[in-house]
Chains A and B, each alone.
Chain A
């Protein structure tokens, strides 16, 4: 197994999603995976991986979890500190709609998707429509199977959403969907750990 993984939640089901142009509702159980699902950046390019190699996905009743095994050659040194770097990025998905219907609720149209095929998962540089998506880097040694870890991944996504809101409150209401601790924060954390080890 590779030393480092990038993993998180890429989509949620059973929630009304506002993508800025319309409202969508992905019915639980609506999504099936294409023969090859890709991991892309901003929905473009050749991609980082596919489900034929280093990408795993788990489509649950309420969410879509994924795990990408980062190649060993990229950074062996980073694996030692991967768990200490508290950072995350937003994630989106691209899918083709196989079956849908329009529902009007209080005069507002909602596109209800009942069947769809997942084509790709993307790390995005912009805001995701599903606000609680994220991906973060972890060392593989702390991971179980993706299915076993998926409930925890889902919970972390909810927590990260609270963190984004808290940071926005300090930032004039502007939500930043990507976050990384500063070098000062990391150094401070290491110092605190070193002190704790002396006790």
Chain B
């Protein structure tokens, strides 16, 4: 509907109190009940190389 305000939060209802998100977000299937663990080195680095200083 035109004029609605939307907030892109999970479980957020416009014009109402935010409710608790009870969904199990991110749950992934496991092989034989053993959780699959992925270890990721979190290194993004800089956006660009630093500019030359003048």
Question: In the complex, which residues of chain A have a beta carbon less than 8 angstroms from the beta carbon of B9?
Answer: 19, 43, 92, 124, 126-129
Contact A169 B38 (CB under 8 A): yes
Question: In the complex, which residues of chain A have a beta carbon less than 8 angstroms from the beta carbon of B11?
Answer: 19-21, 126-127
Contact B4 A96 (CB under 8 A): yes
- Residue total for A at the interface (Cβ-Cβ under 8 A): 58
Contact A20 B10 (CB under 8 A): yes
Q: How far is the CB of A26 from the nearest CB of chain B, in Å?
A: 9
Q: Does A138 contact B (CB under 8 A)?
A: yes
The digit string for B6-22, where 1 denotes a CB below 8 A from any CB of A, is 11111111000010010
Q: A96-B5, A97-B3, A163-B40 are in contact. Are A142 and B48 (CB under 8 A)?
A: yes
Q: A100-B1, A141-B51 are in contact. Are A162 and B40 (CB under 8 A)?
A: yes
- Interface of B, helix, strand, loop or mixed by DSSP: loop
CA distance A83 to B47 in the complex (A): 9
Q: How far is the CB of A31 from the nearest CB of chain B, in Å?
A: 11
CA distance A181 to B42 in the complex (A): 9
User: Which B residues have a C-beta under 8 Å from some C-beta of A?
Assistant: 1-13, 18, 21, 23-28, 35-40, 42-51
User: Which A residues have a C-beta under 8 Å from some C-beta of B?
Assistant: 11, 17-21, 24, 43, 83, 86, 92-100, 113, 116, 119, 122, 124, 126-130, 133, 136, 138-139, 141-144, 149, 152-153, 156, 159-160, 162-170, 172-175, 179, 181
Contacts A20-B23, A165-B26, A169-B28 aside, 7 further interface pairs with beta carbons under 8 A come to A19-B6, A97-B6, A142-B46, A170-B35, A170-B39, A174-B26, A181-B42
Can you list 12 A-B contacts with CB-CB less than 8 angstroms, sorted by A residue number? Answer: A18-B10, A19-B6, A19-B12, A94-B7, A97-B3, A97-B5, A126-B21, A128-B8, A129-B10, A168-B26, A173-B35, A174-B25
